[in-house]
Structures are given as C-alpha cells and as structure tokens.
C-alpha cells in the first residue's frame, strides 16, 4: 500500500499521508517518490486550484524513517548528498507552487494542515508550504528535535526556519530541539494559525480560495529581502552569530558535530541566495550523518530506545498487565512523584503514608508544585486537575486493597522496608509488589512479601516527572508476570524501561557512584576542583561529579558509604572518598539543600563558585587535563563492562540506553559500550591498564574487555 494517496474536492487536491502499519507517519524515500509524483501531477493539472497536504492519522508526522537514514549512510557521502538534494528539489517545487513565469503559469497555493504532532521532516515539509495550519490539541507538539539524536534538520528546515524567524529566534528550535504546543507555536511563528481539529480541512480550503498571489511567494524569494535579526555582517547579525558560536561551544564543549554543522549551515547560508543555502545545508548534513556520533546517537536514542519501549525484552506469552489501580507507599518526594506520573497517565492511585496527615501533605506538595507549573504555562490546568483527582491519600495498608501494583517508596532502611512490604502483601494479595529502592538488593527484600515470584524492583530516577529512564530489577525468584506487569506499567507512563538483574546498586547507580567518587578522589589528591568539573563537561557529561554530589546531597553519599562499608567489610574500596565527604557532612556542608557543599550558594540556592576551603584542605598539585578526563570517563565505562560481565546487564543495548537516559553519560558517544566500539577495545584496554598501573585496580580492564581487545570483537558487530 502507498504512503500517500490523493483525491480532489471542488478543484482542491487533498494529499493524505497515511503510512501503512505505523501509528505515526514517517518519511522514507519510497514515500518521498510517491509524494513527488502526486505533487507534480497536481501542479500540472489545470483543474487543480490548490493543494492541501494533511494526514489520515491523528498526528501529522514524526520525521524521517530510520531505515532511510541507514540507507543514506550506506550510499556514502556522494549518495547522501544526492538523496538530500532530491528532497530539497521536491520541497522547492512545493514552495514555488509550480510557478513558471516564462510560461505565464502562476503558483498554486499549498497548505500544510497538521492534524497533530509534526516533528522533524514532517515539519520541514510543512515549512515549504505557503500556509501552515495546526489542529489544536493538548498532546500536539510541533518542532525540529533532530539535534537531540545527533543530527540537525537537513530537509531545508535549518535554512527555512532561520530565514522565517531570524537566527536568534530560531535558535531554541534548531539548537535545542524545543517542541511547542499549537498556540505556543503560533506565537513563536512556527505555524501561521491554529484551528479546531474538526474544522482543519475547511479552514485550509478557505485559505486556498482567498489566497493572493503575494501569499504564494516566500519572503526570501522576493527582491530586497533581508534576514530577520540581521545577516552575519550587519551590526545586529554580528552580535547574534558571535554570541551563538560562543553559546554552542559552551554548551556542547565541541562534542556534538551536529551543533557545529547546524551553526555553520545557518551562518554560511545567510550569506548566499536561498538555493545555494540549501546546497550548503545539504553538505553540512552529509558531513554530520557520516560522523560516528550520529550513528551512535541514532542507534541508542532512536532504534534501541524505541525497541525497549515497545517491549523487546517483555516475557513472551504474558497477557496485557496494564495497571488500573496503583498503590504507592510513602508520600515523600519519590512516592509523590510516582503517584503524579501514574495519575497523569490515567491510573487511579492511592497514596499512603504512616498517618493520614502525612499522605495528605504529600498530595498537597503535588498541588503546590503543579500550581507553579500551570502558572508558568508548562502544564495544562484541566489535565492537572484531572490527574490530581485520581490521587487518593490514605493511611494504613488497608487502603491498598484492590491494587494491581503496589510500589514501596520509603527511605532506605531495610527493616522499615521489610515491615511495609509485608503489610502491603497482606493488604493486596493479588498485586505485584515492587520496591523503589536505589541501593538495596531486591532479592533480600523479597522474603518480607512471602511471594518472591511477584516481587521486583522498579527504580525511578529523580525528579520522577522529568527523568525518562526506569530500571526494572529482577530478583532471583522474580517471575514473568511481575516483569510483564512492571514493563506494561512503564509503558503506560511513556517512560523507557531497562531490565536488569539484582545486585547492590543495580546498574545505573553502580556506574554513577564510581564517577562521583573519582571526582572526590581527584580533589583529595590535590587536583583543582575547577579542573575536575571542567574535564567532566568536556567529556559531554551534563554536570561535573562535584556538582552532582551537591545536587543529590553529601549526607546521602555518607549514608550510602556507611551501608556499603557495612556490607563489604574489609573489601570496602572508598576510604579515600570518605576522608573528604565525612568531614564536610560533619561541618554541615551537605550540598545545595544546605547552601554549602563543594560549591557555595546564595540565598536563592544558586551556585556562586567552588568552595575556597577545598584548596586549604587539599594542597594543589599539577595534573594533566587529559588524564583527569580519562579517569572520569573510564571509571564509568569499566564499571558498565563489569556489570555486563557479572550478568547485571543481559545486553549492551540496555546498558547504553540506561547510561544516556539514567545519568547522562556522554550522549554524543551513544553510551559506554558504543564508545568502546568507536574507540576500539584494544585502545580502551590499554588506556585502562595504564591508569591501573598509576592509580590502582579500579582501572584494571575486565576480562571481557581484554578478550575483546585480543579478538577485535565489538558489542555491536553490525
């Protein structure tokens, strides 16, 4: 079946996008050829007075088909460039509306009627039309998110949006991938108007009938056009582009070729006529698509993430286990956050705590937090109210009766957890019981429930409403029903699950703790804290290890250290870290929440600079930035390999998705396993061995890495 089909109503050709077997349209090269044939036919037909491009699905389009990217890469640079230019040629024909001044043929109006979300290439197609009309809807989002997966808009979106809005105004959408709701998109200039979904096509037809010749010529095709906000060598443009260059390099640290390529395409394109600018955009897009960064990010953040979200590791044969009623024990930050995202997904939630007042206070905190989001326009008030109505505060385990799933989210005390888990199992005998523990082995907690086969870990990351990753932890006795229930629940929340096997700290915390500990070790050795933090950012980490400790709180680090030391005894490896953290905690330097930690803070909780007291306590020594970077990077990578080697991870795919989404591991790399493939196992093993010789066995290359170095094997052979 074709991806596009067309029909004519009162002289207006309606081209419907409807990719078979897909919940959302995506653009592939076969579909592109179909669209080109339909557009060319409509433009050449004298009986057709105008064209509406729309969708037969609730959403308009989600971007390019991933198979198209793979096909493009296989063609090599020349083939990529030719394929992109073919797309430019079609969109340019749409933009010109078939006008042929030499033959006296005027342009025909072309309207993009966006039935719902329009992202990536779908929105780039709309940008080539003469009018963009978006259907209103709470879940509709419009924009160009390509930068988030290591690409930039290469189907003319970079050139058109920067000329439509000006480079400065277009920056949030091009460089950050910001997506907007319809009304916001209209206010920002991304769309021309918003209409009720039921009236969308009528409004498109009406505009076609009333369009004037001037409406069918894009501003950049008119004589004397000037770029909004100024061209690069105007006074205004000079300030814009110099500032943009500094901003991009400051944010990306040079790790993301797509950001550099995008900025170059906008800058160079602004100096030349529009058609030349499209060729420039295509050349930079070709360079980015052939870079290993794009391949790694597409694989991890598109292919592998989507596969996990669609149930790639869900136990076979299990019926649908979607949750209708959820019980949450603990109305603190984590428990209330879990209750919120579940309620927003349409699930009825009972939120209990030790007293009715404590449970009500947890719900009240949600009301206050969401009120602020509504006031800032980040949350729809009606949707917020509907979600809050689904949360019922209560006290005592009896309120959990009838729950399909119960999640325990009390503080990290094994005895307290055992008590509340036993009570939950008795109150909800048919439910799957889960713990949100971030550190304690799940198998040890399972005994309290009396039904270990229906017990597991569901580890959310903080803040729950923002973090996409959820770790589903199988205990030694966890059965298929419990795993399927957890995965179906995570799917309902529209989050990304990885399934890991039980061990202390599971996977994400197992890798992030060595990262923050290595930062502390470096400080204890006399390395300048600013070098530690900047080295981490130069790797592409979202925050340095010292800032991360401050954000999560130093006293939490102390509690984890004490619990780990109690569990490991003489094998405890982090006494040097404790020598820094314990005295700071004793002095009340607990991190941001206390207004003092590795950083100093002002009265509003903003960082004012690194604490000068560190220099007095740990005399400075010279250190090579390259070695600091290697230590911070490899301590995470090697622990990820050990997790795979120990069976905590079943596959590299989950490890890469979990690393990027869970703790922000250098997204440009695609994750620790993708980074090893990119660097070469032999080179990684050699760097690790050199660090081990200087700094100890925590850098010793694991056996699996050594074997891969000898054989030349890869985690992703294809």
Q: Is 373 exposed, middle or buried (0-12, 13-18, 19+ CB in 10 A)?
A: middle
Give burial (CB, 10 Å; 0-12/13-18/19+) of 299. buried
Nearest to 559 by CA among 526, 581, 531: 581
- Which residue has better confidence, 568 or 5? 5
Q: What percent of the chain has pLDDT over 90?
A: 71
Domains of the chain: 4-297 (3.90.226.10), 325-504 (3.40.50.720), 509-625 (1.10.1040.50)
Tens of pLDDT along 8-29? 989 999 999 999 989 899 999 8
Residue-level pLDDT at 284? 96
DSSP labels, 468-481 = -EEEEEE-TT--HH
Q: pLDDT tens digit string along 651-701?
A: 999 999 999 999 999 999 999 999 999 999 999 999 999 999 999 999 999
Q: Please, which residues have CB within 8 angstroms of residue 631's CB and are 6 or more apart in sequence? A: 518, 522, 691, 695, 699
What is the arrangement of strands in the sheet containing 179-180, beginning at the earlier edge strand? 118-119, 142-143, 179-180
Identify the band that residue 611 occupies on the pLDDT scale cut at 50, 70 and 90: very high
Lowest mean per-residue pLDDT among 151-160, 168-177, 341-350: 168-177
371 flagged as catalytic = no
pLDDT at position 432 is 96
pLDDT of residue 615: 86
CA distance 51 to 267: 33
pLDDT at 472 (0 to 100): 97
351 in helix, strand or coil? strand
pLDDT (mean) for 15-44: 94
Q: Determine contact, residues 141/119, Cβ cutoff 8 Å.
A: yes
Query: Does the pLDDT of residue 111 top 70, yes or no?
Result: yes
Q: Which of 34, 95, 146, 295 is catalytic?
A: 146
Res. 367: pLDDT tops 90: no
Backbone angles phi, psi at 354, to 5 degrees: -65, -25
What per-residue confidence (pLDDT) applies to 238? 65
Q: For residue 564, what pLDDT is reported?
A: 81
DSSP state of 519: H
Q: What is the mean pLDDT of the chain?
A: 92
Three-state SS string over 236-274 comes to HHHHHHHHHHHHHHHHHCCCCHHHHHHHHHHHHHCCCCH
Tens of pLDDT along 427-469? 999 999 999 998 889 999 999 999 999 999 999 998 899 999 9
Mean pLDDT of 492-521: 95
pLDDT at 396 over 90: no
Average pLDDT over residues 217-236: 84
pLDDT value at residue 122: 95
For the cut 70, the answer to whether the pLDDT of residue 136 exceeds it is: yes
- Contact partners, residue 712, CB within 8 Å, separation at least 6: 681, 682
pLDDT at 365: 86
Q: Which of 319-328, 413-422, 568-577 has the highest mean pLDDT?
A: 319-328
In this structure, the strands spanning 142-143 and 405-408 are: unpaired
CA distances from residue 461 to 443, 466, 506 in whole angstroms, order as listed = 20, 9, 13
Percent of the chain scoring above 70 in pLDDT:
98
CB 428 within 8 A of CB 403: yes
pLDDT digits (tens, 9 = 90+) for 478-488: 999 999 999 99
pLDDT of 574 above 90: no
- Catalytic residue flag (residue 295): no
Please report which confidence band the pLDDT of residue 237 belongs to, taking 50, 70 and 90 as the band edges.
low
The pLDDT value recorded for residue 72 is: 78
pTM: 0.87
pLDDT tens for 166-180 read 988 898 899 889 999
Alpha-carbon distance of 560 to 563, in angstroms, equals 5
- Are the CB atoms for 610 and 514 separated by under 8 Å? no
The model's confidence at residue 493, banded by pLDDT at 50, 70 and 90, is very high
Catalytic residue among 124, 344, 465, 518: 124
Q: Does pLDDT of 424 surpass 90?
A: yes
């Amino acid at each position: 079946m074709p991806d596009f089909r067309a029909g004519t109503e009162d002289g207006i050709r309606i081209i419907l996008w409807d990719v078979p077997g897909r919940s959302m349209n995506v653009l592939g090269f076969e579909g592109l050829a179909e669209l080109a044939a339909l557009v060319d036919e409509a433009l050449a037909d004298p009986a057709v007075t105008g064209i509406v491009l729309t969708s037969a699905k609730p959403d308009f389009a989600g971007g390019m088909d991933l198979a198209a990217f793979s096909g493009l890469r296989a063609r090599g640079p020349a083939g990529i460039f030719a394929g992109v230019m073919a797309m430019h040629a079609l969109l340019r024909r749409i933009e010109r509306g078939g006008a042929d001044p030499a033959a006296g043929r005027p342009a025909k109006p072309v309207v993009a009627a966006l039935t719902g979300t329009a992202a990536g290439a779908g929105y780039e197609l709309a940008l080539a039309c003469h009018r963009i009309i978006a259907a209103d809807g709470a879940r509709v989002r419009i924009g160009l998110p390509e930068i988030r997966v290591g690409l930039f808009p290469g189907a003319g979106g970079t050139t058109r949006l920067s000329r439509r809005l000006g480079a400065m105004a277009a920056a949030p959408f091009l460089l950050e991938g910001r997506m907007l709701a319809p009304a916001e998109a209209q206010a920002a200039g991304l769309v021309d108007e918003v209409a009720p979904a039921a009236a969308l096509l009528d409004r498109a037809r009406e505009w076609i009938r009333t369009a004037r010749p001037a409406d069918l010529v894009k501003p950049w095709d008119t004589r004397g056009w000037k770029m909004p906000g100024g061209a690069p060598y105007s006074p205004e443009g000079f300030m814009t582009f110099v500032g943009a260059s500094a901003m991009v390099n400051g944010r990306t640290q040079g790790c993301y070729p797509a950001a550099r390529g995008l900025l170059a395409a906008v800058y160079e394109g602004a100096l030349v006529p529009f058609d030349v600018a499209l060729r420039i955009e295509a050349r930079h897009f070709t360079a980015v698509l052939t870079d290993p960064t794009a391949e790694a990010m597409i694989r991890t953040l598109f292919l592998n993430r989507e596969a996990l979200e669609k149930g790639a590791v869900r136990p076979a044969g299990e019926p649908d286990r979607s949750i209708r009623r959820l019980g949450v024990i603990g109305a603190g930050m984590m428990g209330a956050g879990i209750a919120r995202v579940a309620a927003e997904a349409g699930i009825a939630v009972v939120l209990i705590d030790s007293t009715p007042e404590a449970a009500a206070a947890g719900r009240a905190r949600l009301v206050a937090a969401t009120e602020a989001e509504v006031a800032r326009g980040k949350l729809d008030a009606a949707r917020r109210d509907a979600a809050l109505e689904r949360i019922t505060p209560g006290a005592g385990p009896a309120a959990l009766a009838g729950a399909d799933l119960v999640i325990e989210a009390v503080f990290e005390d094994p005895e307290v957890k055992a008590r509340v888990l036993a009570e939950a199992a008795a109150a909800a005998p048919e439910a799957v019981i889960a713990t949100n523990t971030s550190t304690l082995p799940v198998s040890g907690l399972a005994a309290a429930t009396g039904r270990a086969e229906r017990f597991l870990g569901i580890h959310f990351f903080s803040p729950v409403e923002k973090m996409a990753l959820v770790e589903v932890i199988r205990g030694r006795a966890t059965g298929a029903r419990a795993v399927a229930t957890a995965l179906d629940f995570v799917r309902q929340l529209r989050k990304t699950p990885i399934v890991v096997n039980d061990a202390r700290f599971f996977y994400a915390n197992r890798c992030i703790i060595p990262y923050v500990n290595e930062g502390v070790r470096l400080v204890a050795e006399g390395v300048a804290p600013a070098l530690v933090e900047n080295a981490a950012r130069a790797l592409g980490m979202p925050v340095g290890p010292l800032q991360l400790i401050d954000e999560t709180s130093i006293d939490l680090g102390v509690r984890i250290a004490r619990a780990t030391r109690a569990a490991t005894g003489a094998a405890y490896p982090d006494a040097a870290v404790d020598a820094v953290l314990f005295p700071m905690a004793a002095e009340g330097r607990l991190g941001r929440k206390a207004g003092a930690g590795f950083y100093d803070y002002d009265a509003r909780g903003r960082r004012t600079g690194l604490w000068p007291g560190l220099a007095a306590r740990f005399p400075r020594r010279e250190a090579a930035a390259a070695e600091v970077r290697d230590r911070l990077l490899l301590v995470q990578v090697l622990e990820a390999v050990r997790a795979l080697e120990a069976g905590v991870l079943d596959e590299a795919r989950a490890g890469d998705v979990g690393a990027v989404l869970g703790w922000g591991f250098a997204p440009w790399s695609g994750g620790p396993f993708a980074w090893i493939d990119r660097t070469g196992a032999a080179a990684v093993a050699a760097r690790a061995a050199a660090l081990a010789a200087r700094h100890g066995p925590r850098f010793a290359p694991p056996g699996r890495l050594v074997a891969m170095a000898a054989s030349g094997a890869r985690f992703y052979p294809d």
